[in-house]
Structure 1
Amino acid sequence: MVAQRSKAPVPAAPSKRLSIAKKSGNVKNKASVPTSAVKTRRNKNADPPAHCVELEPRKASSRGKKAVENKADNSDQGPTSKRGCKKAKKHPEEKSSHPGENHRKNVKSTALKRVPSRDLEIELWKTGFHRVIGVDEAGRGPLAGPVVAAACIIPEDVDIQGIDDSKKLTAEKREQLYSQITSTPGVRFSICVVDAPRIDEINILQVSTTAFLFSFFASAIGRRFQATMEAMETCVEELTGNGRDHPPYILIDGNRIPGGLSGKHARSVVKGDAESHVIAAASILAKVTRDRLMEDYDKRWPLYGFKDHKGYGTASHTAALLKHGPCDIHRRSFAPLRNQILDM
């Protein structure tokens, strides 16, 4: 006898409800999804079938209601930040009637950077001093080269952006501001140069050997200030002249007022090139003028490298000085050349 094999049952074709459930994307309980329920989802306007129970809408929490109310009340207060904080609306700033006030706002709006302001000038303008002179110098401490002082007047209606302490600016930026300051209509300035021979003439003290220690400390301070004071006095006199009906007010960088300016309206401002706009402008004029002179001197005496250190007592300058000796622009009243002068 031949054994008969039983045929395996053929699986039935998927029902309509199952295929619809796959298309609708409902993976859970595919076969239990009724066709009517699927149709109800697609046709929102149709009435729900009898076996579907209509659920009540979920009540909003009190917290949600407050959030909605706050959103409605504050809708006119501008956009919110990522953290949900309201941003205050920006209102256009009213233009000040005083030109210096606009410069003050521009200075305060500079982020995280303190730049010289015109606050001192504004106070003086309000008291009747319409000409405020800023005075500064460059080259007080080097072993070679001149002392350069500059005096500058920037009128109330002139606003030159970018002016800062010359030590904080690059050489390119200083050159750019120098050209802008000197070419701006209404700006007045004067620059005075006191060369090395004149510095030595003013400052060399004829002292004996017993007074050497006293002269070492006294002359180290005195010789630098004497030439600087003379340069400041000269440039102010050239700028103001004599016989003017409206005397200017003079703002001087440092903690001393030159003797020739003590009888005038003047005050010293410690770190004035970092505090006062007009003093900072004078510092740029003095610094650029002296740097240009030292670069010219470098071409004449290339052994000392004046274009790199500008005459200051760096290691390379001191080594060149000890090797080659002083040149015509070295200050012989300054160490390490002072002993040679005292032995003369």
Structure 2
Amino acid sequence: MGRYLLMRVAAMVPTLLLASLLIFFIIELPPGDYFENYVAELQAAGETVDPAKIEYLRREYGFDRPLMERYVVWLTNMFHGDFGYSFEHERPVADLIGSRLFFTMLLSFLTIIFTWAMAFPIAIYSATHKYSWGDYGLTFVGLLGLATPNFLLALVMMYLANVFFGVSIGGLMAPEYVGQPLSVGKVLSIAEHLIIPVIVIGTAGTAAMIRRIRANLLDELNKQYVITARAKGVPKFRALVKYPLRMSLNFFVADIGNVLPAVVSGAEVIAIVLSLETTGPLLIAALKNQDMYLAGSFLMMLAVLTVIGVLISDILLTVLDPRIRLQGRATK
């Protein structure tokens, strides 16, 4: 195990270096840079632009240097905890992301808990009551959840909440609590505003997870070891949980590599529709405006979390399923 971990951690270094190269150069692919876009926006609005000021800013932030030199400086600064400066928001990138990270992680964790709490009982019931009316009904609901676009569901739920409950769901809290210290009223307002985002974001994930758990569990329930356990009189619940359910969760554990970056990035489109001040809209705006230090640092953070998540999922898979080995062994 120790040797395997060392090899995987060593392999993470070139992987992340390659990811940083791709991130930096893809962001640089569109013509121009942030300052050129900024000048174009000012001129379109009829405002005058001081060319000397723009040139000063370009020199100040190193945009007049060669591309590879800028990449090396950007990567070196990240190792020292300096993620650069956001030109659009006029703030350091670390401060900007940090100001939205708590609510993003809170929303993501609540969504994950909601997804798991809904998906597991429904999937187990569907698999153990195959082709029953309950199975057909839950299958229909699951397919409906997969087919409904999240942004459309968000708009419908915002309308229903406003019409039937008189609640205006937009943002992460009521306007009077923005910038105020934490209080009971602020906590209740945040909880009220998080209900619809959690349901909307979790719906598609719940539906997809139900289908996958049901399919894998059905496959395990038809295997010989389950039939033998039942023939020996093993209680139904134990015969279900001890091995079949455990073996059917391989994909669930393997998906941790996608869960970790999702916790930080949040649901970008839904966050825009519901006006949530999370990190997702921040990333989209940074890519749109070529705010390269903000966009590049954020994407690099997601790459690091993805690599770490994949490593964690590989290790957990060996614990969950004894048939999986971290290293192959020679066979005769």
The answer to which structure, 1 or 2, has the higher relative contact order (CA under 8 A, 6+ apart) is 2
Greater share of strand: 1
TM-score range relative to shorter protein? under 0.3
With normalisation by structure 1, the TM-score equals: 0.27
Greater share of helix: 2
Greater gyration radius: 1
